Chains A and B, each alone.
Chain A
Amino acid sequence: MHRRRAGKDTVLSELLVVIPALDEEATVGDVVRAAREHIGGSVLVVDDGSVDETAAVALAAGATVVRHPFNLGVGAAVRSGLRYASEHGYTAVLQLDADGQHDPSDGRRLVERLHEDSADIVVGTRFGGNYRVRGLRRLGMRTLAKVVSTRLGTRLTDTTSGYRAFGKRAVDRLSRTYPSVYLSDTVEVLLMAGDWGFRVVEEPVHMHPRKGGRPSSGPALSTVNFLRLVLVIVLHDIRRPMSRRGGP
């Protein structure tokens, strides 16, 4: 396949780039092409009930497309991607946004660090370079980062980043249990990784401003979501582990 671009230990025929997408016809084509060019491996777009031409555009750009019959959320889309990887024998997954905010040229680094650090999950952090957030949002992200870092015993600065690489162990385990509740997914999955003794590291990535589509949420909703994340963290220890089917 795309072995031509294989890095040190990375056999790229065993890498699956998973791109969750909801109504991103304006950007998903470019993202898929850039991923194929800069990262290699196979590209899977999980179309989560889009009402636009996302699936067709992704297909035309050379991706495999899995379509959910209706919107299930980013977490469920990532779980579908991980499950596809697990069932088709891929040993590494790179998760990447479809809106063009993640720079595909960072992808190789994330995957390489899986091997270099024998890590199970590599989280791409937006805070390595120019990216800044302010005010409440900053406070929220810092608090989350602090709490999660303490629990995992590794320094993480960006716990809600959707730019991540998963190694084989993580792919197999998370393909059944990846949490699907909106925003719990990114943070709770790190707590689960901690429970399982997985090694989680972070790597700086670039973050571009939005090229198209619509931004996800305003300040009010963000606050509610933050409170829900707090609940998820507080309750994590008393809750039973996620069942094989992935929760309620």
Chain B
Amino acid sequence: MSRLELFVVVVAVVNVAVVLEFVRRRKLAEGFALLWIGVGLAGVALSLARPVFDAVARAVGVSYGPSLLFTLALLFLLFVCMSLSLHVSRLSSRTEILAEEVAFLRAAQEPTVDHR
């Protein structure tokens, strides 16, 4: 194992450890936990199975293995960004609804018409 490979493996393992710690503290909902554990494990697997990955790259017609890896990683990150955007959109529309609800509750609680 080259020094570089060792470094990559260490980074991947630390990644998995951090993800598991967030899961343990319940900072991550199950769905996200599953996603990030998958990412962590894929990282470890890829860094260990470099030759296999190179072979796959050649088989699909990509001459330089790492560039296939970069492409896939980029696509994956795009996907994650997209799903986070969806989540944020949903959260903000829910916030609006909650604010409305509070406004109406407040109107029911305190006098909003001045009868003086």
Contacts and interface: CB of A to CB of B under 8 A. Distances in A.
A70 B30 CA distance: 21
Q: How large, as a class, is the contact surface on chain A?
A: 10 to 19
B58 interface: no
B61 interface: no
SS of A interface (majority): loop
A231 B33 contact: yes
A115 interface: no
A184 B25 CA distance: 17
A238 B97 contact: no
Nearest to A180: B29
A238 B24 contact: yes
A247 B22 CA distance: 12
A227 interface: yes
Interface string B5-18: 00000000000000
A154 to B, nearest CB: 25
SS of B interface (majority): helix
Given A69-B101, A227-B34, A248 B23 contact: no
B20 interface: yes
Interface in B22-41: 23-31, 33-34
A134 interface: no
B26 A248 contact: yes
A248 B20 contact: no
A1 interface: no
B98 interface: yes
Contacts of B28: 248
A232 B98 CA distance: 30
A40 B25 CA distance: 41
A224 to B, nearest CB: 9
Interface string B56-98: 0000000000000000000000000000000000000010011
B94 A70 contact: yes
A240 B30 contact: no
A239 B97 contact: no
B64 to A, nearest CB: 34
Contacts of A240: 24-26
Interface in A231-248: 231-232, 235, 238-240, 242-243, 247-248
Interface string A209-231: 00000000000000000011001
B30 A181 contact: yes
Contacts of B94: 69-70
A12 to B, nearest CB: 32
A46 to B, nearest CB: 16
A248 B34 contact: no
A70 B34 contact: no
A247 B98 contact: no
A6 to B, nearest CB: 37
Contacts of A248: 26-29
Given A238-B20, A238-B24, A239-B24, A184 B30 contact: yes
Nearest to A235: B23
Nearest to A230: B34
Contacts of A242: 26
Interface of B: 20, 23-31, 33-34, 94, 97-98, 101
